[in-house]
Amino acid sequence: MHMALLPEPDLPDRSVKTAGPLHHYPHTDLESIKEAAPTVPPVSRWGLAPSFWAHIPLLAADVEALQEVPGVPGSFALRGQPVRRVEVLGVAVEVECRDKSARCIVDDGTGLVPAILWLQPNGASSDAPEDSRHAVAAGVETAFAIKAAHELQLGRLVRVQGRVTQYRGVRQVTVDALQVENNPNAEVLHWLDCIRMKKQLRQQQL
Q: What is the pLDDT of residues 83-110, one digit of tens each?
A: 889 999 999 999 998 888 889 999 999 9
The pLDDT of residue 110 is 94
* Residues 177-193, mean pLDDT to the nearest whole number: 93
Q: What is the pLDDT of residues 133-160, one digit of tens each?
A: 444 345 446 676 777 777 788 999 999 9
- As a whole number of angstroms, the longest Cα–Cα distance in the chain is 122
Q: Is residue 26 part of a domain?
A: no
Q: Is residue 11 part of a domain?
A: no
Q: Domain holding 141: CATH number? A: 2.40.50.140
The pLDDT of residue 18 is 44
Q: Is residue 5 part of a domain?
A: no
Q: How confident is the model at residue 51 (pLDDT cuts 50, 70, 90)?
A: confident
Q: Is residue 93 part of a domain?
A: yes
Q: Is residue 16 part of a domain?
A: no
In percent, how much of the chain has pLDDT > 70?
64
Distance CA 112, CA 192 (A): 19
Under a CB-based contact definition with an 8 Å cutoff, are residues 173 and 88 in contact? Answer: yes
Distance CA 4, CA 64 (A): 74
**Burial classification of residue 55, based on how many CB atoms lie within 10 Å of its CB (0-12 exposed, 13-18 middle, 19 or more buried):** buried
pLDDT score of 29 more than 70: no
Q: Is residue 2 part of a domain?
A: no
Q: Is residue 153 part of a domain?
A: yes
Q: How confident is the model at residue 204 (pLDDT cuts 50, 70, 90)?
A: low
Between 9 and 35, the more confident residue is: 9
The pLDDT of residue 73 is 77
Residue 160 Ramachandran class (φ > 0 left, ψ -120 to 50 alpha, else beta): beta
Which residue range(s) make up the domain with 142? 36-203
Return the HEC string of the chain. CCCCCCCCCCCCCCCCCCCCCHHHCHHHCHHHHCCCCCCCCCHHHHHHCHHHHCEEECCHHHHHHCEECCCCCCCEEECCEEECEEEEEEEEEEEEECCCEEEEEEECCCCEEEEEEECCCCCCCCCCCCCCHHHHHHHHHHHHHHHHHHHCCCCCEEEEEEEEEEECCEEEEEEEEEEECCCCCHHHHHHHHHHHHHHHHHHCCC
Between 47 and 5, the more confident residue is: 47
Q: Is residue 135 part of a domain?
A: yes
Q: How confident is the model at residue 194 (pLDDT cuts 50, 70, 90)?
A: very high
The sheet with strand 76-78 has its strands ordered as: 67-68, 76-78, 81-83
**How many structural domains comprise the chain?**
1
